[in-house]
């Protein structure tokens, strides 16, 4: 990843913390591990960057952080000796990062069981895939490395089907759509993603209208790829952003976050090869808002 500085006289660690997803402490560790170069040279965290300086992340980094078990209520809807299917609430981060090391799903999983795969390292025990903090819904957890490896391959080969429901701002005019638009990091705001041809990855989202309301549309969305913030970025791109999304809309939002819920997952069991399918009801906050829209439409 490369960043061209657009701001004068700011500390390197502060500038990167403000323009990437990493915290200042993480940036400092990355500098210590010689993962970052400025104009091709190693610099200290206190180095003052100048306009047009080129900052480059040149190698992988590792944060040696111990994830502690934390007691929390987990909504487990299925479990056997190989996998767990969890219904994650809005507001819960999936794994540690950016200064949050004690209040994530990974912490809760470690308290619940010691039988979790370690294929993704000590910070992501059992985590096969993720959804955003304020996106609710279904997640697959691997209890063994064998199950984890197989599920990872199944995701790559698109054998795992994930579907979402979302409430969009505006009345989407078509019955369905396919959004095929590459996604990369937003150069104006490094904490956001955007549709761009520069340093981007192929991304495809399938949309189907479920119901239209006055100024809103309830839709079903199916991922063909799994990019960061993919649905949220694609919905903003087509001009119908997700309601209550604090990152991709300019409207006032409640603490609940975006009305986006991963309500269905279909996959083949990694060990038994049984066809598995699970669904999750829309969260209370989202359902109550939709019910109110329906009442106003009557």
DSSP assignment string, 193-243 = EEE-SSS-B--EEEEEEEEEETTEEEEEEEESS--TTHHHHHHHHTT-PBT
3-state secondary structure at position 277:
strand
Q: What is the DSSP letter of 41?
A: B
Residues annotated as catalytic are 132
At 276, list the tokens: 């598995």
Residue 262 and residue 190: Cα distance in Å, rounded?
Answer: 25
Q: Any idea which residue has 């192929």 for tokens?
A: 202
Burial of 137-148, coded b for 16+ CB within 10 Å and e otherwise, reads bbbbbbbbeebb
Residue 182 and residue 271: Cα distance in Å, rounded?
Answer: 34
């Amino acid at each position: 990843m490369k960043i061209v500085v657009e701001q004068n006289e700011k500390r390197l660690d502060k500038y990167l913390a403000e323009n990437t997803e990493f915290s200042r402490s993480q940036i400092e560790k990355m500098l210590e591990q010689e993962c970052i170069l400025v104009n091709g040279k190693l610099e200290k965290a206190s180095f003052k960057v100048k306009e047009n300086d080129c900052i480059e992340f040149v190698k992988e980094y590792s944060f040696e952080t111990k994830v502690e078990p934390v007691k929390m209520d987990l909504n487990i809807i299925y479990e056997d000796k190989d996998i767990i299917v969890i219904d994650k609430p809005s507001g819960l981060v999936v794994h540690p990062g950016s200064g949050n090391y004690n209040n994530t799903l990974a912490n809760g999983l470690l308290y619940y069981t010691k039988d979790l795969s370690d294929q993704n390292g000590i910070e992501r025990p059992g985590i096969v895939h993720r959804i955003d903090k304020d996106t609710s819904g279904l997640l697959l957890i691997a209890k063994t490395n064998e199950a984890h490896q197989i599920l990872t391959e199944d995701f790559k080969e698109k054998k795992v089907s994930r579907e979402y429901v979302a409430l969009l701002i505006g009345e989407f005019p078509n019955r369905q759509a396919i959004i095929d638009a590459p996604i990369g990091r937003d150069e104006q705001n490094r904490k956001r993603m955007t549709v761009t041809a520069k340093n981007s990855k192929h991304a495809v989202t399938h949309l189907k209208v479920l119901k239209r309301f006055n100024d809103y549309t309830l839709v079903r969305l199916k991922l063909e790829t799994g990019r960061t913030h993919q649905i949220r970025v694609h919905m903003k791109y087509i001009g119908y952003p997700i309601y209550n999304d604090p990152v991709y809309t300019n409207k006032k939002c409640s603490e609940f976050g975006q009305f986006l819920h991963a309500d269905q997952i279909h996959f083949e069991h990694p060990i038994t090869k049984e066809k598995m399918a699970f669904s999750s009801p829309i969260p209370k906050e989202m359902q109550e808002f939709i019910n109110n829209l329906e009442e106003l439409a009557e």
